[in-house]
Chains A and B, each alone.
Chain A
Amino acid sequence: MTDRPLLEYTLGLADDALVSAQRMGWWISRAPELEEDVALANIGLDQLGQARTLLTYAGELEQLGRTEDDLAYLRDDREFRNVQLVERPMTDFGVAMARLLVFSTYQLHLYRALATDGDERLAAVAAKAVKEVAYHVDHAAQWVRRLGDGTDESHARMQSALDAEWPFVDELFSPLDPALAGRVADPAALRDPVLSDVRRVVAEATLVLPDVPPALGGGRQGLHTEHLGFLLAEMQHLHRSHPGATW
């Protein structure tokens, strides 16, 4: 019988990483300097690698014979389980760094918890990914500090980027399905450690944490902003137009 709660949980992890990787890829050739093009491409590639293994596992849990490609390219937006944080456009460098800081700090704590207990397959992915994500956190933190504690212009733009992202942070800490209690890491338990790390970087950057109500959320249930559909259209177009194409 399909372990539906574990499947949904795994899809959440996979889709967060996949959608974030796709947004990171947008920066290739558009970053402020060549080294940053390379850095964001590398970060996206790490996330894509995590997504691939997680989607493969989700396909096995689902028991319908779907591969990682089937799940990435042939699902519609309502079937994606990523948080809304990662799906919105990320065409401002401050937004990219604010989001990467929050998201990678969340991934770091989540993967660390998953690596030490619970599901064996998720533990293997997490133990590998946690080392990669530590580099992502460090990279984002360096930029947030540099821009926040930089010129008046960079400070103001970094603050408004943080303000724009903040309503979507809350959804990361959605409570765990009770059926999974004790089997996998509970995102709700990560709220304090994640926010404490983020708060420290934000303070060093001379920025302030926004005091805003959370957005509606619902990404884990397949409820998304309009932006995910456009992202998927671009990501899935080639595969759907030329099924089975390889090079």
Chain B
Amino acid sequence: MTSTTTPSTTPTRRARDLAATVLDPELPMVTIEDLGILRDVTEDDQGRVHVTITPTYSGCPAMETIRDDLVETLTLAGYQHVDVEFVLSPAWSTDDLTETGRDRLARAGIAPPGPVRGVDGPVPIGLSVRCPQCGSLDTRESSRFGSTACKSLWVCRSCREPFDHFKAL
């Protein structure tokens, strides 16, 4: 995706740093950079900023809000022309979550996903998910689908607390 850079377009650190502060509206403990959905930020010599993002799931309803938040954040910082492009390829994977993102999810009580890269075909299912509250591995899945498209619902048998798990995708 970074190959779209042309001689008149240079990636601008400041624009990228600003874009990277935008939070996911449904998981406001992580930024879009933490999630790995911020693909590219470029600024041309006219000061026009082009941001490329990718959805976590095809039907992710947060994309439009994220676009509005990107435009607002960059506009308030003085950029006059900001456009946001959605790309699908290469498809996002939970492996794109940064280490910071994983830590922030865990601290908010959402168990981060296990690795998926290289797995094809059947849904990859780990043996267990660690409870983000008490750290126990004695947990069970109560529903494959949770409060947002990217999460499943789990219950800890040790501390009896329910928790969200970010599904490996």
> Interface on A for B, CB 8 Å cutoff?
35-36, 38-39, 41-43, 45-50, 52-53, 123-125, 127-129, 131-132, 134-135, 138-139
| Residue B79 lies at the interface, judged by CB distance under 8 Å to chain A | no
Across the interface, do A47 and B59 meet the contact criterion of CB distance under 8 Å?
yes
With A43-B145, A128-B91 as given contacts, are A35 and B153 in contact (CB-CB < 8 Å)? yes
CB < 8 Å: which of B88, B122, B145 contacts A124? B88
With A39-B145, A45-B61, A49-B58 as given contacts, are A127 and B89 in contact (CB-CB < 8 Å)? yes
Q: Which residue, B59, B92, B123, has most C-beta atoms of chain A within 10 A?
A: B59
Across the interface, do A128 and B88 meet the contact criterion of CB distance under 8 Å?
yes
CB < 8 Å: which of A36, A132, A134 contacts B57? A132
- For the complex, give the distance between the alpha carbons of A145 and B57 in Å: 27
Sorted from nearest, which 10 A-B pairs have the closest CB atoms? Answer: A49-B59, A49-B58, A35-B143, A124-B89, A39-B145, A45-B59, A42-B145, A124-B88, A128-B91, A127-B91
* Residues in chain B near residue A43, CB distance under 8 A: 145
Residue on B with the closest CB to A123?
B89
Nearest Cβ in chain B — how far from A160, in angstroms?
26
Query: What is the interface of chain A mostly: helix, strand, loop, or mixed?
Result: helix
With A39-B145, A50-B58, A50-B59 as given contacts, are A134 and B123 in contact (CB-CB < 8 Å)? yes
Residue on A with the closest CB to B144?
A139
Q: Which of B67-96 contact A (CB under 8 A)?
A: 87-93
* Residues in chain B near residue A48, CB distance under 8 A: 59
A-B contact pairs, 5 of them (CB 8 A): A38-B153, A42-B145, A46-B59, A49-B60, A127-B90
Query: What is the interface of chain B mostly: helix, strand, loop, or mixed?
Result: loop
| Residue B132 lies at the interface, judged by CB distance under 8 Å to chain A | no
Residue on A with the closest CB to B150?
A42
Q: Which of B99-141 contact A (CB under 8 A)?
A: 121-123
| Residue B5 lies at the interface, judged by CB distance under 8 Å to chain A | no
Across the interface, do A131 and B145 meet the contact criterion of CB distance under 8 Å?
no
With A134-B123, A138-B123, A139-B145 as given contacts, are A128 and B153 in contact (CB-CB < 8 Å)? no
Across the interface, do A46 and B149 meet the contact criterion of CB distance under 8 Å?
yes
CB < 8 Å: which of A41, A53, A134 contacts B58? A53
Nearest Cβ in chain B — how far from A245, in angstroms?
15
Residue on A with the closest CB to B125?
A138
- For the complex, give the distance between the alpha carbons of A49 and B60 in Å: 7
Nearest Cβ in chain B — how far from A134, in angstroms?
5
- For the complex, give the distance between the alpha carbons of A224 and B103 in Å: 51
- For the complex, give the distance between the alpha carbons of A129 and B61 in Å: 15
